[in-house]
Structure 1
Amino acid sequence: MGSCFSARIRADGPRQEGPSSRYGSIDERNTSSRRSFSPAPLTPRKDSGILESTNLKSFSFNDLRVATRNFRPDSVLGAGGFGYVFKGWIDEHTFKAAKPGTGVVIAVKRLNQEGLQGHKEWQTEINYLGQLYHPNLVKLVGYCFEDEHRLLVYEFMPRGSLENHLFKGTGHFQPLSWNLRMKVALDAAKGLAYLHGPEAKVIYRDFKSSNILLDANYNAKLSDFGLAKDGPKDGKSHVSTRIMGTFGYAAPEYIATGRLTARSDVYSFGVVLLEMITGRRVLDKNRPNGEQNLVKWARPYLSSKRRVLQVFDARMEGQYSTSAALRAAILAIKCVAKEPKYRPTMDQVVKALEQLQLQEEVQKHHGTCAEDYSGKVVSYSDPSPSPISA
């Protein structure tokens, strides 16, 4: 398994310094961790392979060139394996290029022809985001398919990615408060729950902090659907596929077998929830041995009521109650359970986060902080035993 694993999902290499990613839809950290693939065929298609049912604007390359001021370097929002993301402006009625500072702000992702992520992922993203609509999915406005040019046009997310707010924490990106982190977690969970639900039946496969974007009001939306897959059909329990994703976020059973299920996304959600709780990256080779892998390091702490608060991000100190912290820890450790059957569904995750938010509101109203107002931790139906011990 080792050689097969290293060939398909590779750990992040040294971080490359480049344009700061304020938009965040391009993963800056893992240009070597993803490769293009052949998505399951969808019909009917246009000649370009785009679903005919997509309700997207087809842009000319010249319009996007003008909208981004000829893809000027000072318009760059981020960079990654796909290419660059540029800031641009278009008229809200005609969709033609507008002067900077007028009309509607957009983010334009331009495919690098020499990049690892190619036409297939570009096409997959169009086919999914062209059909899926939810408040917690980033809106795809349109695309450009002209000669050798492949571009995607998104709504602009002014506060960038969750990753930047968690791990940069200076200048443009400020550390998020406990309440904002739990709000972002709930928003992202709702997005995943929608994807897993009966309307979409999609496995996201690339859930990570760099793919969670924030609007001006810190509403979170999932972006980058290049690795998305249709869920299992005809009574099957899983989808067998090439192992794709980002090292550290991918579920262990998926890495071992290539069998993809919705619970694989739940594991990835748990990893991101751990990042929000601890303020640590999923993989950090700059930390001492034993602390470089977030899940392995945090698991013993999360299993103990006496030690759990030791792993919480010090920047949030005093912002949460002990009972809220325990609820979040319980949820995180359930999501990253080694056995998929012990993980909650995303609907259960949404319910748990809503209850946590309700608890915080009630405690604030009554001025209680030390313990849960109900005297017990909210739970949900799950075959696994309680993961928190004294």
Structure 2
Amino acid sequence: MSAPGSTVSGVPHLDVDPFDMNFFADPYPTHELLRETGPVVYLDKWKLYGVARYAEVHAVLNDPATFCSSRGVGLSDFKKETPWRPPSLILEADPPEHTRTRAVLSKVLSPTVMKGLRERFAAAAEERVDTLLEKRSFDAISDLAEAYPLSIFPDALGLKPEGRENLIPYASLVFNAFGPPNELRKEAIARSAPHQAYVTEQCQRDNLTSGGIGACIHAHVDEGAITATEAPLLVRSLLSAGLDTTVNGIGAAVYCLARFPDQWQRLRDDLTLARNAFEEAVRFESPVQTFFRTTTREVELSGATIGEGEKVLMFLAAANRDPRRWDKPDSYDITRRTSGHVGYGSGIHMCVGQLVARLEGETMLSALARRVASIEITGEPKRRFNNTLRGLDSLPVTITPA
């Protein structure tokens, strides 16, 4: 990593690789370097612009006409290369197409729908806590952060029981594929055939149970809101967006609450803080670390001129700890006003799975806080490396009943 070097059109260059294993292991010093070097930087390694301060990340996210998604929200530019899979109608689309398909997902995942799911999700959270209290010692990732969402979300979507073990590898693949052609991306795509085949099949109308969220998406075909070709692609969007955000979010929250026992006690004293404890974990750990946009025209951003057709990498995690925006950004505080964090993005492309993630995060944390006195980390946490996501692969813990 070098100090800021030469500048072109007022933009400092950095020799930083945000897709390197050493960076993934500890991104925070580099995040600070990126933020402090300037509002816009140029990363020579991958020939792209980077923004790591909150103001610029927020500005890029909220100007989809200038910073488009249809050319890919990863490093590859769909105008110049073929996408590895049919592009997402949500993530990799711009208005007006995006507006139409997003409206369908907003209906099937509305606050009213979430209200209807709350009881079922809360009951599943209680069941999971029963199991964990019997074990006392377990892996908070596989036995909690993954097991809980997998026990309810695929049912809510209307998936058949067989083959669900493909869901997490599929989500991991999607997010690795946003990165550069490094080992993580190559390996993920090389291994992807069975996961892709499973997901493609599950998204078809005949394979989804009636009354589920997936069937509701397909019902919009009958109304003419979307086509029969688009419906399976929209179901596919939920398979990745509805799971990874939740798994990594719950994992992050448990990891935070185990490391900061004062915050755990605070939550136990006031269960209404459960939702905010989850939200603050999403800001603090940023399960989704980065996303790209592509410029549609020459644009000036905070004094820097960026040409047309340039990739801009937004460091969501760095923005979520920018001291220009947050007071004591490096402390986990469950009473913090978290609104405005970019852990789920911002603007028209804000994560479609966020309501599901919040509901699951809140119900799980309140079930735990009601019945568990303490959470102790009893082994070395292991990271799961991914080009876009930051989360743990393993977190051994021991809990004490309340």
**Which gives a bigger RCO, structure 1 or 2 (Cα 8 Å, sep 6+)?**
2
* TM-score (ref. length: structure 2): 0.24
Looking at secondary structure, tell me which structure has more helix per residue.
Answer: 2
* Length-normalised TM-score, structure 1: 0.25
